[in-house]
Amino acid sequence: MDPIILFFLLGLAAGLLKSELRLPQAVYDFVSILLLLSIGLKGGIELQKQPFLDLAPSVLATLMIGLLMPLVAFPLLHKLGRFARADAASIAAHYGSVSVGTYAVAVAWLATREIGYEPHLPLLLVVLEIPAILVGIVLARGLSSDTKWSDVAHEVFLGKGIVLLIGGLLIGWLSDPQGLKAIEPLFMDLFKGILAIFLLEMGLIAASRAGSLKRYGLFLIAFGVAMPLFGSVVGATTGWLLGMSEGGTMLMAVLAASASYIAVPAAMRISVPEANPTLSLTASLGITFPFNVLVGIPLYWQLADFIHRTL
């Protein structure tokens, strides 16, 4: 078994058994900052090597996924799940956006198997973070309301995740390769170790959601598993249509399957305050993140493999 997955299981078990273990918030912050920067840097360095012609179609297709996913999720949650409008909109926004942690695990999974992927995927990761937030806000309040769009824009574009990802991309893209060598030990060589600590903490956080999981019941669990499965098919098909490699197709599936827990919760808390954050975080962290990390990633690889073989 992959050790980083075992770190996640350790965190999950420690949390469920109510162990005294907790990481200081500063550690969580530091580790997630490193992950975001590493992913950005890696993308930037690769983009430097080849001119990014033809990026427009994949950026556009990714934007479309970001708009489509919440529009599929919202009626399911609102009508079928009978969630209040604000709650349904907020959960839908989480599922339209993307989880950097899940992406990092998928990248590590591919690296272990020495499978390559398109260099611009980190850019698509950034692109997919954003549209669902806007769709979520519009679903919750409609267009004509008193939403302060300048506040929303600030929250969306200057949130920690976006700043670090885009910052890393730009630094990687603008730096000369010799200079980058010097910082590689921290950002590249230690990537998996950092990811392991991050997953330990994610296990603890996911376990802390167990209580609310019981309270909100079966529909949320079913949704938290079904939505990523649907997303993975949408993502993988898009990747294939864009002519991506198997690795790239699999990462597109991961992007569309994952649910946000950094950018979207922060934006929703401010823009749609009446939505209950426990619901969306329970779904995205308590169900979908563990599902994707433990079951989803190998499954999405098989999906990518299947699509490339049969189509």
Partner 1 sequence: MSIQEDYRRKLLTVITEAALETHLTRDLDKLGAPGYTITNARGRGQRGVRDAGWEADSNIRVEVICDDETALKIARHLREHYYDNYAMILTLSDVEVLRPEKFRP
Closer Cβ to partner 1, 11 or 96, answer by number: 11
Q: Which of 99, 158, 153, 142 is nearest to 281 (CA)?
A: 99
Residue 172 CB, nearest approach to partner 1 (Å)? 25
Helices H / strands E in the chain, number of each: 17, 0
DSSP string, 166-202: HHHHHHHHHS-HHHHHHHHIIIIITHHHHHHHHHHHH
Closer Cβ to partner 1, 23 or 170, answer by number: 23
Closer Cβ to partner 1, 154 or 181, answer by number: 154
DSSP strands (E only) in the chain:
none
Closer Cβ to partner 1, 25 or 144, answer by number: 25
Closer Cβ to partner 1, 148 or 181, answer by number: 148
Long-range contacts, stretch 264-269, CB < 8 angstroms, 24+ apart: 264/90, 264/93, 264/94, 264/97, 264/132, 264/133, 264/136, 265/94, 266/155, 266/159, 267/93, 267/133, 267/137, 267/152, 267/155, 267/156, 267/159, 268/90, 268/93, 268/94, 268/133, 268/136, 268/137
Q: Which residues bind partner 1 (CB under 8 A)?
A: 22-23, 25, 28-29, 201, 204-205, 208, 211-212, 261-262, 265-266, 269-270, 273-274, 277-278, 281
> 3-state DSSP call for residue 64?
helix
**Sign of the torsion formed by the C-alpha atoms of 260, 261, 267 and 272:** positive
d(CA 171, CA 151): 27
Residue 279 CB, nearest approach to partner 1 (Å)? 12
Residue 287 CB, nearest approach to partner 1 (Å)? 16
Residue 187 CB, nearest approach to partner 1 (Å)? 22
Closer Cβ to partner 1, 9 or 72, answer by number: 9
Closer Cβ to partner 1, 25 or 310, answer by number: 25
Residue 277 CB, nearest approach to partner 1 (Å)? 7
Residue 66 CB, nearest approach to partner 1 (Å)? 21
Residue 149 CB, nearest approach to partner 1 (Å)? 15
